[in-house]
Chain A
């Protein structure tokens, strides 16, 4: 997109219904400063946000958190998404989500469920989640999802402690009846950034993991779809973060702030608007945070003259800020970035320290 192009229509809305979560995963992408329960938007406001989102062009809503099931009015929220004509996707830890609530979500029109699995090895999974018995509960609920006829995705976040078990994790997803697996290497924001040294795999581990995913994809073609999020600290080019800033998606926090991506609040210069004060259309069109890095006009070199600038949009603004201190720099993951050596140093700085668990 260039400055002259019309404003794009967004495709997806990430609705963070709450930051409350029973699990303590050290790679959590939520911010260190979590929204409080008293500040959470009520179901009627979410319903209005969904209607505004649909009118703006949004097709899919991802109901996330924290743990969305921590909200008792979740069935009402799912129903509102359906009534707005949105495709609803529940992103859940499965802990705290009972079969009864799940059935009421299915009745309310839920389209898809994504359950996170921390590891195929149960003691390790519970250790990573910081919650004894989490793994067993997740497996039981996954079976229930499939029994209800809802499509299931198993999401596995990959890092140093479980990166060698991608194959058994995919086998686990198959045995649970999932139609899709998402293998997401940790992205270092929020709590994950705080735990970076404890989570970072080696380059050899990452290379092997990428090879393994390719192998499994071919092996299971037609049985299960395997999508992978690449580990960007070892990449040559950056990821096209959120498909381009203010181009395809919006994120609404539990308290109603609207962000171009879930980590955007780490960039201090940005001003976020709230759905309590503005319509979603106004925010998409006019809010300073969305305008800040939309298109290519904000870019500095080497991005400004790069042939890939409309392919990866300079990578991730949050990562550029977190590592270089300047949100307008190229994502330092890019080998063309003058700060690329910082990423190499950070990737090498792994140590076996205890996790700092996320607690809400």
Chain B
């Protein structure tokens, strides 16, 4: 394949789950799940912490800062985790960026 049109993650964009995608807790399935059209994804603890902050109001950079503070972790590592997750979700059309 010559061309990859993967979604670009803008640092100043404000990520949020698109309509039709919901993060919810399920006792029966033992934790958090992301509900999407015809699909269900298990969400691990890190994913949940990131997605809870993706409300369309906070920029990606601010989310990374906040997570780095809260979890006293290196900013570069948090940044890489966040970008990987959000890129993958945007590619699956589950997440969008408000400008």
Q: Are A87 and B22 in contact (CB under 8 A)?
A: yes
Q: Are A87 and B28 in contact (CB under 8 A)?
A: no
Interface window among A54-62, A192-200, A304-312, A313-321: A54-62
A57-B28, A87-B22, A222-B91 known; A112-B6 Cβ under 8 A: no
- Nearest CB on A from B53, distance (A): 22
Q: Are A9 and B28 in contact (CB under 8 A)?
A: yes
Q: Are B19 and A89 in contact (CB under 8 A)?
A: no
User: Does A285 count as interface, using CB distance less than 8 angstroms?
Assistant: no
A179-B93, A221-B91, A225-B93 known; A151-B18 Cβ under 8 A: yes
CA distance A60 to B39 in the complex (A): 9
- Nearest CB on B from A45, distance (A): 22
Number of A-B contacts (CB under 8 A): 71
Interface window among B29-37, B61-69, B78-86: B29-37
A11-B29, A222-B7, A222-B90 known; A112-B40 Cβ under 8 A: no
Secondary structure at the B interface, as helix, strand, loop or mixed, is loop
CA distance A59 to B33 in the complex (A): 9
Task: Please count how many residues in chain B sit with their CB below 8 Å of the partner chain's CB atoms.
Answer: 25
> Which of B3, B4, B20, B28 makes the CB contact (< 8 A) with A151?
B20
User: Does A220 count as interface, using CB distance less than 8 angstroms?
Assistant: yes
A112-B20, A151-B18, A180-B93 known; A60-B40 Cβ under 8 A: yes
Q: Are A219 and B3 in contact (CB under 8 A)?
A: yes
Q: Chain B, 1-32, contact with A by CB distance < 8 Å: what is the 0/1 string? A: 10111110000000000111110101111000
From B5, which residue of chain A is reached at the shortest CB distance?
Answer: A222
From A182, which residue of chain B is reached at the shortest CB distance?
Answer: B38
User: Does B92 count as interface, using CB distance less than 8 angstroms?
Assistant: yes
- Nearest CB on B from A89, distance (A): 7
CA distance A114 to B20 in the complex (A): 12
Which of A37-74 touch B at CB < 8 Å? 56-57, 59-60, 62
Task: Please count how many residues in chain A sit with their CB below 8 Å of the partner chain's CB atoms.
Answer: 29
Q: Chain A, 57-97, contact with B by CB distance < 8 Å: what is the 0/1 string? A: 10110100000000000000000000001010100000000
- Nearest CB on A from B60, distance (A): 17
User: Does A287 count as interface, using CB distance less than 8 angstroms?
Assistant: no
Q: Are B7 and A153 in contact (CB under 8 A)?
A: no
User: Does A223 count as interface, using CB distance less than 8 angstroms?
Assistant: yes
Interface residues of B (CB under 8 A from A): 1, 3-7, 18-22, 24, 26-29, 33, 35, 37-38, 40, 90-93
- The 10 A-B pairs of least Cβ separation, nearest first, read A57-B28, A151-B20, A9-B28, A87-B35, A179-B93, A222-B7, A112-B37, A218-B1, A112-B20, A222-B5
Interface residues of A (CB under 8 A from B): 9, 11, 56-57, 59-60, 62, 85, 87, 89, 111-112, 114, 149-151, 153, 179-180, 182, 218-225, 227
Extra 5 A-B pairs, beta carbons < 8 Å, given A9-B28, A11-B29, A150-B20: A59-B24, A59-B33, A149-B19, A179-B37, A221-B5
